[in-house]
Amino acid sequence: MHIMEGYLPVAHAAGWWVVSLPFMAAGVRSLKRIVTEHRSARALLGTSSAFVFVLSALKLPSVTGSCSHPTGTGFGAILFGPSVMAVLGSIVLLFQALLLAHGGLTTLGANAFSMAVVGPWVVYGLFHGLRRLGASFSLTVFLATALGDLMTYVCTSAQLAMAFPDAASGFLGAFVKFLAIFAVTQIPIAVAEGLITVILLNTLKSYNAEELKGLNVLPEGGLNR
């Protein structure tokens, strides 16, 4: 997902910054509200950030000018909502660009949009949608986080295809090629991330159910496993 420094044309790099900034601004407001209303959740905020940092640092190189890795943003999106993850995910991406040479400053807007905006919104929508349909907690968490991970790479494939359309088949041809390359490594990675997130959230459910109810992850009556 981390598109490397200097890989995108200047206009594309700048455009993704413009698209991502409103989500980051909204995330700052959501983060302030959560810290004020749920002071006990500060430790979980730190844990969510660390989870994103560790998982997204586990990279497999790709021939697309990018790489494959778990994103880790689904865990925080379920706990705090997608807006907060726009901030936490972007901070993680900034640190990785500066300290680990993963991604870059010019491509930070594009990377943030795919990993810290699109992925978390997909996770949040699927989690609450499946919950309303009565799906079990574990299945809901697994499907939401795995598909959120995959949608991050669908977004990245679209970003790369817009920047580098195929000479013969244009955007669509390039989009399919990028998706095919990512799919080889990303599908098993997404499954693994979904399973890890299920384990983490079930552990929290067992030992800190009241906190999850306060964050609207669990209803007052609880959820089936």
From 191, 161, 186, select the one nearest 176 (Cα to Cα): 161
The reported pLDDT for the residue numbered 224 is: 42
The reported pLDDT for the residue numbered 57 is: 77
Residue 15 tokens read as 């455009």
The reported pLDDT for the residue numbered 225 is: 41
The reported pLDDT for the residue numbered 210 is: 82
pTM above 0.85, yes or no: yes
Mean pLDDT of 31-55: 87
Angle at 27 between CA 220 and CA 102, to 5 degrees: 115
The model's pLDDT over 108-135, given as tens digits with 9 standing for 90+, comes to 999 999 999 999 999 999 999 999 999 9
Cβ-contact 108, 14 below 8 angstroms? no
More confident residue, 212 or 147: 147
Length of the chain: 225
Rounded Cα distance between 106 and 181, Å, is 24
Please report, as a single letter, which amino acid is at residue 205: K
From 99, 121, 119, 86, select the one nearest 193 (Cα to Cα): 119
**What domains can you pick out in the chain, each with its CATH number?**
10-209 (1.10.1760.20)
The model's pLDDT over 142-169, given as tens digits with 9 standing for 90+, comes to 999 999 999 999 999 999 999 999 999 9
Average pLDDT of the residues of the chain? 89
Mean pLDDT of 12-22: 96
Three-state SS letters, 117-171? HHHHHHHHHHHHHHHHCCCCHHHHHHHHHHHHHHHHHHHHHHHHHHHCCECCCHH
